[in-house]
Amino acid sequence: MEISQVAVASEEQSSTAEEVSRNIDSINTVVSETASGIEQVAQAATDLNAMAEELRTLISQFSFSKEKGLAKYN
């Protein structure tokens, strides 16, 4: 193998290593964004659960009459 071939192969290897590094950085960015999104969804689910519980409490203060179609606040 000539020195010029070794130099070309070395440059190709360096270029490939840089590309792999950029791809890994991109993957890390996507993973980080996904984790952030998951945290936001979890917080939204927690908030929604709290609102549903509050709504259940409020609704429990009413009694409903099917015959008259009326709701009465207790």
pLDDT values of the chain reduced to their tens digit, one per residue, 74 residues: 688 899 999 999 999 999 999 999 999 999 999 999 999 999 999 999 999 999 999 998 888 777 766 667 76
Give every CB contact of residue 71 below 8 A, 6+ residues apart in sequence. 62, 63, 64, 65
Can you give the pLDDT at residue 10?
94
Query: What distance in Å separates the CA atoms of residue 31 and residue 6, rounded to the nearest whole number?
Result: 37
Can you give the pLDDT at residue 27?
98
Can you give the pLDDT at residue 51?
98
User: pTM of the prediction?
Assistant: 0.62
